[in-house]
Amino acid sequence: MLRVNGINVFYGDLQVLWDVTFEVKEKEILVLVGANGAGKSTTLKTISSLLTPASGTIEFNGIRLDHLPPNKIIEQGIVHVPEGRRLFPEMSVEENLIMGSLYGEAKSKRSETIEYAYTLFPRLKERRKQMAGTLSGGEQQMLAVGRGLMSRPKLMMFDEPSLGLSPILVQDIFNLIKKINQEGVTILLVEQNVTQTLAMCDRAYVLENGRNVLEGTGKELMANDHVREVYLGI
């Protein structure tokens, strides 16, 4: 479904990704594992066209993405739920949701999708007129996911969705991601909670210092000595 082939990405003169290559299959949960600074968030930003690779290609369902603007990436069916939520704090819950449905089919089916979002997150419906900046951390994460769903994505990319949440809310977020996947949406996940993500994913790639170093199923990587020592503390 998504093919990232040999991308090299720079911030100014600083190279942060070296020949990163991976693929995401339709309807699977794929995880990118790595320490802070490994290049995981940069990879998602490059797929979203917030960054442009110096070389390499990105294809989604056979269409080249690596030189399209971000709004065209969304129109292709890819949505990015960023680290830190990145909501519009002085807009209401409902206005934030609407901002996720500005293009094509998402716009024409906005009413239907917003009801779906409220079904998933009844708390957001209760607070639909409340300013996003006044929500709790867990509610803000719900809103970030809901806004992403408003674009009716084929592929959802999550960057550190459990960041700053209590253990109970972390489990709720992971359960929600699994539910979204079970309803047919492909998932590309970046997350520091390696144990839980490897347990729930179909496949994973390990990034270290901007390079692919390992790949396999979640079970295979959980049994890998390097992964166990460096990321699982075993």
Pair type for strands 78-81 and 155-159: parallel
**Between 193 and 20, whose confidence is greater?**
20
* Residues 197 and 181 sit within 8 Å (Cβ to Cβ): no
Q: How many helices (H) and strands (E) are present in the chain, helices listed first?
A: 11, 10
**What are the chain's domains?**
1-77+154-234 (3.40.50.300), 88-152 (no CATH)
Most confident range (mean pLDDT) of 3-17, 122-136, 139-153 is 3-17
Predicted confidence (pLDDT) per residue in 39-68, tens digit: 999 999 999 999 999 999 999 999 999 989
Please give the share of the chain, as a percent, with pLDDT higher than 70. 100
The percent helix, strand, coil of the chain (3-state, each to 5) is 40, 25, 35
User: Average pLDDT over the chain, rounded to whole?
Assistant: 91
Tell me the whole-structure pTM to 2 decimals.
0.92
